[in-house]
Structure 1
Amino acid sequence: MMSGMQANTVSTIAQTIQLSLSPVFMLTGIGALLNVLVGRMARVVDRVRDLEKLHPAASGPERDRYVWELRILDRRIKIINAGLFLAVSSAVMTCLVVAQLFIAELIGLHIATMVALSFTLAMLLLIAALVCFTIEVRTSLRAVTVREELLEHQ
């Protein structure tokens, strides 16, 4: 049979696990964001490779259009890369929050301020990653403009 101290410890660990569920759900969301960002990066890289093949043979306005699009794609790569770094940093900070919760509980540290600051930093990094995602989406829309000469006016 469990002594009172062991039962209290198990109960405390159970409470700590419950507390750490919110950061774990946040990790799931960050993972989904990372998946989207990596997918967008792959599509950008594929388009860059296609344009790099077409560019040398092009001339005039067609070549100018390829250069213009390559510049936008280069900017998108940089923005996505920043977003990936920020999202991964947020995930690392979130994992640190979970670890801090368990370590503090197991050895009796009073680090509530440090846990709160770590979680706040994780959220700020996630917000910055989402801002990068928004900027990248808006940047990508600039590259999808339909040339006027291709539109058939009625």
Structure 2
Amino acid sequence: MVLTAPDAPVIGLAKAIHLSVAPVFLLTGISGLLGVLSNRLARIIDRANVLQEAEELSDISGSRRLRLELGVQKQRIGLINRAITCCTLTALLVSLVVAVVFISAVAWIDLAPIVVPLFVVAMLSLMGALLLLLREVQLATNQVRRRF
């Protein structure tokens, strides 16, 4: 098959779409992780609200225990907030990678020197989010163990 000049833009567009598919699947996974993180944050906030209400009604010894538990909830909230920030940054960077790859393929410009560091930083940010989630889960698990 001989390609004519009018076919070149279509081929460039097809190549751009092909190169953009894998990062789009990654975005789907990241959105799922953001959902998990948001749900965890909501549960932690709900638990903290219950503890605050219980603290207001408890005696001094019970209030001390509840304040300690509220401190752990505060740590967990901070960890999940940072994980959400890292995960959102990952999604933004991957979206930028998709845009740059698309522009690169359509414009026939080699933008690999831009794509590679963006993707590496996106993966580092994703690893950070996962490590923060792991730490938050460890705190939650330790908190449950202390109750029993």
State the TM-score, normalizing by the size of structure 2.
Answer: 0.92
Q: How far apart are the structure 1 equivalents of 2:132 and 2:90? A: 13
Equivalence map 1:3-152=2 (5 Å): 4-145=4-145, 147=147
Greater shift after overlay, 123-132 or 137-146? 137-146
SS of 1:12's partner is helix
Structure 1 residue 61: deviation in Å?
A: 3.3
Q: How far apart are the structure 2 equivalents of 1:43 and 1:71? A: 15
Percent identical among aligned pairs is 34
AA partner of residue 8 (structure 2):
N
Gapped runs of 5+ residues in structure 2? none
Structure 1 residue 129: deviation in Å?
A: 0.6
AA partner of residue 16 (structure 2):
T
Structure 1 residue 4: deviation in Å?
A: 1.3
Q: How far apart are the structure 1 equivalents of 2:147 and 2:117? A: 49
Q: How far apart are the structure 2 equivalents of 1:92 and 1:147? A: 40
Deviations 1:79-110 (A, max 9, x none): 00000000000000000000001112232322
Greater shift after overlay, 106-115 or 36-45? 106-115
CA RMSD of aligned residues (A): 1.4
Q: How far apart are the structure 1 equivalents of 2:14 and 2:105? A: 11
Q: How far apart are the structure 2 equivalents of 1:130 and 1:39? A: 15
Count how many residue pairs are aligned between Structure 1 and Structure 2.
146
Spell out structure 1 runs of 4+ moving beyond 6 A.
none
Gapped runs of 5+ residues in structure 1? 149-154
Q: How far apart are the structure 1 equivalents of 2:67 and 2:17? A: 53
Structure 1 residue 65: deviation in Å?
A: 1.7
